[in-house]
A and B are shown apart, each in its own frame.
Chain A
Amino acid sequence: MSRIADQNTNQDSNQIQVRHLVKEYKRKKNKGNVRKALAGMFRPDYEVLRAVDNISFTIGRGEAVGYVGPNGSGKSTTIKMLCGILTPTEGGILVNGIVPQQERMKNNKKIGVVFGNRSLLWWDVPVIESYRLFQRLYEIPPNRFKENLDRFTEIMGIGPLLGIPERQLSLGQKMRCNIAAAFLHNPEIVYLDEPTIGLDSESKASIRECIRRMNEEEKTTFIVTSHDFQDIETLCRRIILINHGRVVVDDDMQKVKLDFNREKRIQFEVDSNPWYHKGMPSMEGVRITDEKPHSITLEYDVEKVSSIHIMQQVSKLCEIKDVAISGRDIEAIIRDIIRKDNHSI
């Protein structure tokens, strides 16, 4: 009893609780030859695939979390379990104090879900009709419905699309309509599974803007999976990185960047490259990644060598016309972490 009370008081900081989550799929084994395949028709061999392997995390109200990892790392499986449409093999999930698998309808009313490759709308009818249906199904009061409709029509720029059936919309238009649909009932949590897959930069921008505003203004909790790191970087303050079904990193985005961003890249535009075709004298912690007659690109470890030192060295031998220093972006960092993680197994 005391635990339940405890959970309620902590609901703001523990809106989503995931404890030792495991999901195993049984999959029929692929057969090497026809005879074995025939035998398998009657007595199939199964192999167990551990898609999610002991994942735990807690997400508080109003957080925006980027849930990232390579293909097949268990992202969508986790999202589906959080939504309540997939049952964990082991472990527990608590969303807003309820187990989504046990009280699916109750949970459905409080969440919004967007799948980048699936639509929530009715294919044959004008978009607005789908929205009106949502109004009824989610029991949205007319005033609030109108307010929300106006608001999202404006943010997503879908005013002219409302009268068109979904089947006649382009991918980007469809997605924008779907995002708006997910917000109409003021969900407390919105799950986005690859929301910007295959979209142009303008559609991506309006989707990001919408999510950012909802997160700031309504304190809506977001969990976003994406392979587009710009999505994650602009939207999420926290990042959960999974690989082979396990959490590799769960931390603040800025902190991840600082911790893992020891490598920087410096690019010089010069009058003539003194080392072109000759090779550069070795300098500790510096790697040459690209050289052309008039430009040099170097990568270096900030803990071993400073940017100023490199610049001084280069300026001794040629005239520097322009210089650009960049930290590696989160995508490169993640790639590195994953590579290291794969090695350690």
Chain B
Amino acid sequence: MQKFYTLVRMTFLSKFAYMKAFWFNIAGTATSIFIYYFLWKYVFRSQESLDGFTMAEITTYVIAARMLSSQFGGGINTELSLWIYEGTISVELLRPVSLFFTLFAKRTGEFFFFILFKGIPITVLCTWILKGALPYGGAEFLLFVVSVCISIGIMFFMEFMVGICAFYTHGYWGLAFTKSALLSILSGGIVPLFLFPEGLASVLGYMPFAGMVSVPVQIYLGKYDATETLVYISIQIIWVIILYLAAKLFYIHMLKKVVVQGG
């Protein structure tokens, strides 16, 4: 646990080294929130509500969804791909802890850094300026936090597998870009999932992607009743387990390849 904490701390320190870049990152996310806000404002000129969403709720949806999906641009997949691409992975394999462990700690560090320095301040500020809806209630807010925390697992294992794909593609930029675009759209980060064609929307609702944006935000807004919340959180947990197993298999396969082919 102490090892984990120290690795998380390292990630924080590394992040602090790029504070200037981080301000631009924040500015970028804030800009995208404003753009989506004005788009939706146009939609709501002619109607009071959309599928049961008021303008205030949609505003909150935009803020939270843009915020959460802004993580898709980062993540450990680029780093892992680069390690594979440049062969640094051999150094990482010489550490006294497993690659899996190091990267998970790093991802956790990135996540908390994101929440602390970007997620909370921007959400509070934008909700206040754009007059978004507040969380539906205390319980909903707590469950939202739980759901977001579970989503680290989903994101980490997906990123891990995307990162390993560098073995086959011998590149990393295209992978990272495709991942970011696909996750943004499939998770409801760009358009709420309920606006998708009905069949597609219900399928996507059960996919792991929804667990990263759509599910937590819907919980936050109180759009799910108690049973639905429970079901969706359970689905998230099931996906974490499935993705963990898949990532582990990928990892074993990759290790074999590294140690046989020499990276």
Contact = CB atoms under 8 A, between A and B. Distances in A.
Interface of A: 25-26, 77, 80, 83, 85-87, 101, 104-105, 108-109, 111, 113, 115, 118-120, 122-126, 129-130, 132-133, 136-138, 165
A85 B18 contact: no
Contacts of B91: 113, 115, 118-120
Interface residues of chain B: helix, strand, loop or mixed (majority): helix
B259 A101 contact: yes
Interface stretch (B24-32, B95-103, B246-254): B95-103
A132 B260 CA distance: 33
B96 A138 contact: yes
Interface residues of B, number: 24
Contacts, number: 68
Contacts of B93: 85, 104
Q: List 8 A-B pairs, minimum CB-CB distance, nearest first.
A: A124-B17, A124-B14, A136-B6, A125-B13, A87-B259, A85-B93, A108-B96, A109-B96
Given A105-B98, A137-B95, A137-B96, A124 B18 contact: yes
A108 B94 contact: yes
B217 to A, nearest CB: 32
30 contacts: A26-B261, A77-B262, A83-B94, A85-B90, A85-B93, A86-B262, A87-B259, A87-B260, A101-B259, A105-B96, A105-B97, A113-B94, A118-B87, A118-B88, A118-B91, A119-B91, A122-B13, A122-B14, A124-B13, A124-B17, A124-B18, A125-B13, A126-B13, A129-B10, A130-B10, A133-B6, A136-B3, A136-B6, A137-B3, A137-B96
B258 interface: yes
Nearest to A87: B259
Interface of B: 2-3, 6-7, 10, 13-14, 17-18, 87-88, 90-91, 93-98, 258-262
Nearest to A101: B259
A101 B2 CA distance: 27
Contacts of B17: 124-125, 165
Contacts of A87: 259-260
Contacts of A129: 10, 13
A165 B18 CA distance: 12
B201 to A, nearest CB: 40
A109 to B, nearest CB: 5
Contacts of B87: 118
B90 A118 contact: yes
Which of A85, A104, A109 lies at the interface centre, i.e. has the most chain B CB atoms within 10 A of its CB? A85
Contacts of A165: 17
Contacts of B98: 105
